[in-house]
Amino acid sequence: ALDGVDLSVKKGEFVAIVGTSGSGKSTLLHMLGGLDRPTSGTVMVDGQDIFSLKDEALTIFRRRKIGFVFQAYNLVPVLNVYENIVLPIELDGGKVNKDFVQQIVQTLGLDERLDALPNQLSGGQQQRVAIARALAAAPSIILADEPTGNLDSKTSQDVLSLLKVTSQKFAQTIVMITHNEEIAQMADRIIRIEDGRIVSQN
């Protein structure tokens, strides 16, 4: 799926990866997040090759360092909205910053839905819960696969503005896949990928 990709992302940078369906965008994102192991090559985060870590250490690294926003949301059906948002923090034994979570929830328009279960939400609302969950632990890296795929254009702009604001506030690095050119323009840099190769980055 990927062919000789060589890519560096600076701390605090907001990068959009664009390309047609099947170009290798999601595979690249999964490798950056330690979900897919490359057949050759390395993925370095903070000077460390993440695939040199044992499975358990890699899981802890992902939980502490990376906030994922998947297209499929991956919400836990038996937990309500609030519980889904704080789940990664609690799994890691961390303390929930309630003021920060409240701020995210309000920005995403979820404050009225905190007691709802995922199956009581629209696709757009589930998308926003997934984004809130990724942001809640204030991870140093956010990897987002089509984070605005199920949102209307107004909500998409709000969500991206929120991502930008929180990333600047916490010096977070964001790598986002999108095939929406308008949304890609909000990033600091756009990387275009075709047939598993980077064709441009500007």
Q: What value does the mean pLDDT take over residues 52-78? A: 89
Residue 9 within a domain: no
**Chain centroid to CA 118: how far?**
19
The structural domain count of the chain equals: 1
Q: What is the pTM of this model?
A: 0.86
Q: What value does the mean pLDDT take over residues 195-200? A: 90
Residue 165 within a domain: yes
| Domain housing 76 | 14-201
E strands, 55-172, in order = 66-69, 141-145
Residue 78 within a domain: yes
Residue 1 within a domain: no
Concatenated DSSP letters for 12-68?
T-EEEEE--TTSSHHHHHHHHTTSS--SSS--EETTEEGGGS-HHHHHHHHHHHEEE
**Chain centroid to CA 25: how far?**
13
Residue 8 within a domain: no
How does pLDDT run across 142-194, given as a tens digit for each residue? 999 988 877 788 878 877 887 888 788 778 899 999 888 888 998 999 999 99
Residue 6 within a domain: no
The pLDDT of residue 159 is 79
The pLDDT of residue 133 is 92
Ramachandran region, residue 73 (left: φ > 0; alpha: ψ -120 to 50; beta: rest): left
Residue 29 within a domain: yes
How does pLDDT run across 101-135, given as a tens digit for each residue? 998 898 888 999 999 999 999 888 898 899 899 98
At 188, list the tokens. 């600091």
Residue type, 64: R
Q: What value does the mean pLDDT take over residues 91-110? A: 89
At 126, list the tokens. 């589930």
CB contact set of 8 (below 8 Å; sequence gap of 6+)? none
The pLDDT of residue 64 is 85
N-to-C CA span, the chain: 22
What's 97's domain CATH number? 3.40.50.300
Residue 7 within a domain: no
